[in-house]
Structure 1
Amino acid sequence: MPDTYRYFQTQIGSALNSQSALAYVIDLRGPDAYRSYFDVNDFALAATQAAVSEYAALTGASRIGIDRRLALLWFHLTTRPVGWDVGSVWDAIAGDYQCADGWVRLHTNAPHHQKAALEVLGCEADRDEVTGILRQRSKFEVEQAVVDNNGCAAAMMSLSEWRDHPQGQALARAPLVEWSVRDGGRPKHRGLKGLKVLDLTRVLAGPVATRFLAGFGAEVLRIDPPHWNEPAVEVDVTLGKRCAGLDLTTNEDRDTLKRLISQADLLVHGYRPGALAGLGFGPRELQSLNPGLCDVSLCAYGWSGPWASRRGFDSLVQMSCGIADEGMRRAGADRPVPLPVQALDFATGYLVAAAALRALRRQQTEGQVSSARLSLARTAHLLTSAGAHEALGDGLVPADGDFAPTLEKTSWGDIQRITAPYEVDGQRPDWPMAAGALRRHAPTWD
């Protein structure tokens, strides 16, 4: 089997315009592995190393360490509630459904996305009823109807179908990280200590990136709209962050966001292409508000091509780009077989963090201001470009010894969290602020 870890390292290093991912030698050998038909393990470790290496390069560190088992476990939920239940990640309707000509996946965790799907199907939120209706429908017809109704769905395609699809072709031509660089002033900070990061991201890649930055000293302020919640994952991804709320449809809250942008050092956002500009915060407005602001953005299906503005999530991208179909075929299964973890989300999250750190290093050493754009679907293209194989590994689940001994007191109750998997010159990440509910802070930096 080829050295896919080195392949992923090289591709990521090239995308970041950086050799940092290759500069630090780490012993990552070991038996721990997820069972997958794609090289999820090498993929996860290479993405993790990219972020850690870029932080080491930013701070001038000489040594990094990554625990293979823990790094792989951090590609999933990292917490275990003590005496309470976090609930299911999925709502009652979300999931894969067999249609007359294949499979479709509905993503309905957000109430408005569930409403959009049920309006198309003409039924109530009853899984059996949804199942019966979809068996009589075409997967592509359902996908398009739900998307047209501002919902989230994906028909399952094969690797070859996606390769021939206009969006698949657009992604194959696009870089893993799209850069835009301009001259700008020197930064106010060195490293991450005291660096203000404005986080306009939601499940799951963006929050993973900003959680990483917070662990090494960045002051992260997350902003969410009214009524948005992420049940079952907030306890994982709000670690180390202040969490505030703004309604960007109001002039008052847009003015507040302008003030926050003018004070920030880094903006990380996950709006679909054109959506942030539609609220009055396009590239020109951001530069006017803060000429020295670095920004990193991510979306689901890419920044060009006919699906660039499509809503999407990791599980949907896996259906679209052939991963779930290839897994089903190789497993001899009778339904879609996705990756064992939401690796597109987590890998993109670490790559967003790596791109942010690369941008900050370029600003600190060269006086240039960078913008970077990434997407889940382009990350998927990197994974699938290494090819599929027979499943390796027996699976990986947390054991008692993987969890840190100290309890974390969150807004919901005590939890145990899996020990952080990396260190830089002996320094492990530290999150002084426990995880907590969205919108629990005022929209200020302190």
Structure 2
Amino acid sequence: MNDVSLAKAPPDAVELTRGLLQACGLPTDAAQGLQLTGHDPVLPSSFAVGTAAQATIAAAALAACTLGRLRGQAAQTVSVDMLHAALECTGWFSLDGQVPDLWDAFSGLYRTADGWVRIHANFAHHRDGALRLMGLDPATASRADAEAAMAQWKAADFEDAAAAAGLVATRMRSFAEWDATPQARAIAAQPLFTIRRIDTADTPAAPLVLPPLAAGARPLTGVRVLELTRILAGPVGGRALAAHGADVLLVNGPHLPNIGAIADTSRGKRSALVDLREEQGRATLRGLVQQAHVFIQGYRPGGIAERGFGPEALAKMRPGIVCVSLSAYGTQGPWATRRGFDSLVQTATGFNLAEGEAAGQGKPRPFPMQILDEATGYLMAMGAAAALYRQQTEGGSWLVEVSLAQTGYWLRGLGRVADGFSAVQPKTMEQPAFEHYLESSESGFGALRALRHAARLSATPAVWDLPSMPPGSHPPAW
């Protein structure tokens, strides 16, 4: 893919949203009643991050409304303001009046002997593994020690060694360098997302009939969603489904760490612990699957299938289920099994270098938010609702597949924003210009102040009627 000019304006957000819905196989009138306001730049970036946020949030809401209409709900207007959408995608929140620092001291970019490497160290085992790979003792090493050690490595060597060790680090590439890789070519050959039936000879294709909606009910009321995700994209997708009425049960392993953003992303959900390392835990999850409509997972590639919960196994367990699968680099190509996070995908695929060059700073620059995570999360919610619509109308079990790298490829294709850095990044949302985008709630983590949902529905407003709670606060039951 050739780089796009800074003079090329991003596409019309309404047409972009319609295109997403059409790619889902939804009716041509799925975008009726859509109202979008604002234009890029809304946050400092040379890429159309505001347009991406607005279109994906709108598409997720419209897909839910389309399913609601199928269940007897009247059509309604969906409005999304671009600034509100972009701010929501920053993931800003405070607890008890304090904004937490969500990044580990060892996370970030490091200079190497011949370039840059980004390390993701927010989980202790990833941080300690990276430090040991550098030849350092995790118990005593400082950031300065890590920087000195990394300066002795070649970027490609560290990336390869980290991947071989199951760690999460990547070297920084330009767009041209990324485009020359087999993985980039594999991603370019795939669509933004896929939605396909996964029926087999012994899985009946009869619809799992959802009941008609009562007056005033949100469009996903009665939809049971099992969410097995931990980082950001998957939790954002589950939270969007909860905002439109879905019964979302977040399932974590008792031995698995979480990031601080769970205080924000688990709004509207119940949160349970199930240990899939043990047969009792797997039996519990099988029982939950028997009554679920949607199964969302963001495990490492192949990880959930190893426990007996791959898409085909789920389709046999619960014929008619919708499975949503998230990966870093897609299902094709040599990096299909590689772990990754938004910040790493930005670095690997050329965005950090491109942003730095556009800003004229002479050093790499990240996006003003984790837009690959956030947009992918809303694509997951859109895909889940669209697959449910198709399940209700066509029968069958369905699989939705998304990846951070495919979302990045899509974002890059939207064009560049010539005056993108004229926008200002808010230091805090708690100021008059942004206060009206916030809402307050009590949570299991403390007094939570966070962004309200940017999708505004005229008849059934999006709300989170359950507070965010720590993992294990609820039993693993519907």
- Which category of TM-score, normalised to the shorter sequence, fits these structures? over 0.9
Cα distance in structure 2, aligned partners of 1:69 and 1:428: 19
Whether the 8 Å contact between 1:78 and 1:418 is mirrored in structure 2 is yes
Of 197, 208, 229, 1:187 maps to 208
Q: 1:89 to 1:242 in 2, by over 3 A?
A: same
**Residue equivalent to 1:285:** 313
Alignment of 1:171 onto 2:168: no
Amino acid corresponding to residue 9 of structure 2 in structure 1 = P
Secondary structure of 1:407 counterpart = strand
What is the deviation of 1:332? Answer: 2.5
Cα distance in structure 1, aligned partners of 2:461 and 2:424: 27
The residue correspondences of 1:207-286 to structure 2 (distance < 5 A) are 207-286=235-314
**Residue equivalent to 1:113:** 126
TM-score, normalised with respect to structure 1:
0.94
Cα distance in structure 1, aligned partners of 2:312 and 2:9: 45
What is the deviation of 1:10? Answer: 5.3
Cα distance in structure 2, aligned partners of 1:9 and 1:116: 41
Of 145-154 and 4-13, more deviation after overlay is shown by 4-13
What is the deviation of 1:90? Answer: 0.9
What is the deviation of 1:22? Answer: 4.3
**Residue equivalent to 1:412:** 445
Whether the 8 Å contact between 2:225 and 2:249 is mirrored in structure 1 is yes
Whether the 8 Å contact between 2:37 and 2:80 is mirrored in structure 1 is yes
Alignment of 1:153 onto 2:169: yes
What is the deviation of 1:439? Answer: 2.1
**Residue equivalent to 1:52:** 61
The C-alpha deviation readout for 1:77-124, integer Å capped at 9, x for no partner, is: 2423334x3531111211100011111000011111112211211113
Q: 1:21 to 1:160 in 2, by over 3 A?
A: farther
Alignment of 1:17 onto 2:25: yes
**Residue equivalent to 2:454:** 421
Of 372-381 and 335-344, more deviation after overlay is shown by 335-344
Cα distance in structure 1, aligned partners of 2:196 and 2:437: 40
Q: 1:263 to 1:403 in 2, by over 3 A?
A: same
Alignment of 1:317 onto 2:382: no
Q: In angstroms, what is the RMSD of aligned CA positions?
A: 2.0
Amino acid corresponding to residue 394 of structure 1 in structure 2 = A
Of 183-192 and 293-302, more deviation after overlay is shown by 183-192
The residue correspondences of 1:350-369 to structure 2 (distance < 5 A) are 350-369=378-397
**Residue equivalent to 1:39:** 48
Amino acid corresponding to residue 82 of structure 1 in structure 2 = D
Of 216, 229, 253, 1:201 maps to 229
Cα distance in structure 1, aligned partners of 2:409 and 2:83: 25
Amino acid corresponding to residue 209 of structure 1 in structure 2 = G
Whether the 8 Å contact between 1:15 and 1:176 is mirrored in structure 2 is no
**Residue equivalent to 1:82:** 96
Whether the 8 Å contact between 1:404 and 1:416 is mirrored in structure 2 is no
TM-score, normalised with respect to structure 2:
0.88
Cα distance in structure 2, aligned partners of 1:123 and 1:218: 47
**How high is the sequence identity, in percent, across the aligned residues?**
34
Q: Structure 1: state its 5+ residue gaps.
A: none
Whether the 8 Å contact between 1:70 and 1:402 is mirrored in structure 2 is no
Secondary structure of 2:331 counterpart = coil
Whether the 8 Å contact between 2:40 and 2:50 is mirrored in structure 1 is no
Whether the 8 Å contact between 1:38 and 1:384 is mirrored in structure 2 is yes
Whether the 8 Å contact between 2:67 and 2:389 is mirrored in structure 1 is yes
The C-alpha deviation readout for 1:405-437, integer Å capped at 9, x for no partner, is: 763111121122223222223322121211111
Whether the 8 Å contact between 2:266 and 2:468 is mirrored in structure 1 is yes
Cα distance in structure 2, aligned partners of 1:63 and 1:317: 35
Amino acid corresponding to residue 423 of structure 2 in structure 1 = D
Cα distance in structure 1, aligned partners of 2:438 and 2:332: 46
**Residue equivalent to 1:128:** 144
Cα distance in structure 2, aligned partners of 1:126 and 1:389: 38
Of 32-41 and 363-372, more deviation after overlay is shown by 363-372
**Residue equivalent to 2:4:** none
Whether the 8 Å contact between 1:78 and 1:417 is mirrored in structure 2 is yes
What is the deviation of 1:138? Answer: 0.5
Secondary structure of 2:295 counterpart = strand
What is the deviation of 1:14? Answer: 4.3
Cα distance in structure 1, aligned partners of 2:361 and 2:41: 25
